[in-house]
Amino acid sequence: MKKVIRAAWEGLVLAAVVFLITCAVIGLNHPDESFGSGLGVAVSCLATAVIGVGFGIPSLIYATELPTGLKVLIHMGTGTVIMLATSIAVGWIDFSRGWKVCLLIAGGQIAVAFLLWALSCVRIRRDAKQMNERLKDKE
If phi > 0 it is left, if psi is from -120 to 50 it is alpha, else beta; for residue 66 that is beta
Res. 32: pLDDT tops 70? no
Looking at residue 36, what is its pLDDT? 66
Q: How far apart are CA 19 and CA 45, in angstroms?
A: 8
Q: Does the predicted model carry a pTM greater than 0.75?
A: yes
pLDDT tier at 136, thresholds 50, 70, 90: confident
Query: Distances in Å between the alpha carbon of 6 and those of 52, 60, 67, 115, 134?
Result: 12, 10, 23, 22, 26
- pLDDT tens for 70-110 read 999 999 999 999 999 999 999 999 999 999 999 999 999 99
